[in-house]
Amino acid sequence: MRKHLAIIGASYLQLPLIEKAKELDYVTHVFAWRENAVGEAAADHFYPISIVEKDEILEKCREIGICGICTIASDLAAVTVNYVANALGLPGNSMQATLLSTNKHEMRKAFQRRGDPSPASLLVDESTQLDALQLRFPVIVKPTDRSGSRGIYKLDSREHLREAVAAALSAGFEKKALIEEFAQGEEYSVEYISYHGEHHFLAMTQKFTTGAPHFIETGHLEPAPVDDETLNRVRQVVEHALDTLGLENGASHSELKIDSDGTIRIIEIGGRMGGDCIGSDLVYYSTGIDFTRAVIQVACGEAPDLRPTHPPQSARVVFLFTQQDLEEYRRLCREEPERLLRLVDLHLEFLGKSTDSSNRAGCYIVRA
């Protein structure tokens, strides 16, 4: 008898999860708003319910009799995943771990308690007297509970602090923000999957961004070009931090910076697969490991199969922002089509208009 799997979210980032579940012969039950739900057509059953409606989704999942519930690339969806999993006795992470891995202020406090290296920060809201704060610039202003570069600002002085805090508060759900010290260095992410508290390293990814003020990600390279000693230190730091957050089951995506003297600072950790096709595509191409399959296996109470399915190859995700970016993509199509691994998305109406990760003009994956 076929098993029933619940998937939270139906954007293009969730589509590989839906397709992989169907490939593995699960009956897929997908929950999301219908707007931009490109995964609706791929799902066996689609429910136009907002991913934040935890109790409504829980009752439907109880009625269906699901064997597991999962998501990729969404902090907001991860909250609902763990809420439902805990209520139904299915594999997942505790609600305390969910809070620590989705609220940046609670994460910072946990890191401070356990000695995990991360930037110092201050919690602010609309009642905070900003002029009274003792700040050392540059600083980063960000919402406590958003991802995807939404509401993030780098400030080199106090001049635009009030406007940046107001924008960050507006972008967040709980209407609170962090003002934190700016960590210097190159940006990376680290991809893991955990099963019963045992953490399995998959890959380290180099990140490229637009830089200040918003740091929208322009691309990712995997594997990251770092030496073995650096990689070993990164793994030790990340695995300790995963224990700090209490992330025991499923994917995790750790963002960090390494400065010129080798100092590692954790920016944040999400208890879910990295977005921007890092988990669903780059890990698969660069390691041969089917990360998406492993996420489903853990969600259904099975040990993840981490055996490579094909020879690894270096790969890069590239995002489109400008007409020049589009021309480079077209050049690759004409002159080096063998390097193109996948066209993920095109929204040319956003060329020259991107403000965060949600409205970039396109995305493709290429052999690096």
Confidence (pLDDT) at 146: 82
Tell me, what's the pLDDT at 345?
Answer: 84
Q: What is the pLDDT of residues 294-351, one digit of tens each?
A: 999 999 999 999 999 999 999 999 999 999 999 999 999 999 999 999 998 888 999 9
- % residues pLDDT > 90 (the chain): 88
pLDDT (mean) for 231-240: 98
Taking the C-alpha atoms of residue 75 and residue 109, their distance in angstroms, rounded to an integer, is 19
Q: In the prediction, which pLDDT does 23 show?
A: 97
Checking if the pLDDT of 8 tops 70, the result is yes
CB contact at 8 A, 171 and 150: yes
What pLDDT sits at residue 148? 62
Mean pLDDT of 40-46: 97
Q: Three-state DSSP class for 250? A: strand
CA distance 205 to 210: 17
Are the C-beta atoms of 104 and 42 separated by less than 8 Å?
A: no
Mean of the pLDDT values across residues 101-120? 97
Average pLDDT over residues 207-226: 90
Three-class SS of residue 273?
coil
Q: Which of 169, 137, 136 is nearest to 152 (CA)?
A: 169
Res 216 pLDDT > 90: no
The Cβ of residue 120 has, within 10 Å, a number of other Cβ atoms equal to 12
* Residue 360 contacts residue 325 (beta carbons within 8 Å): no
Residue 356 has pLDDT above 90, yes or no: no
Q: Which residue, 74, 220, 350, is CA-closest to 360?
A: 350
Other Cβ atoms within 10 Å of 246 Cβ, number: 18
Residue 71 backbone dihedrals phi, psi, to 5 degrees:
-155, 165
Q: H helices of the chain, where?
A: 15-23, 54-64, 75-88, 95-102, 104-114, 161-171, 228-245, 283-287, 291-299, 323-335
The answer to whether the CB of 264 falls within 8 A of the CB of 229 is no
Q: Tens of pLDDT along 316-332?
A: 999 999 999 999 999 99
Q: Report the pLDDT averaged over residues 221-238.
A: 98
Task: Assess whether pLDDT exceeds 90 at residue 109.
Answer: yes
Q: Which of 302, 193, 327 has the alpha carbon at shortest distance from 247?
A: 193
Confidence at residue 151, expressed as pLDDT on a 0 to 100 scale = 82
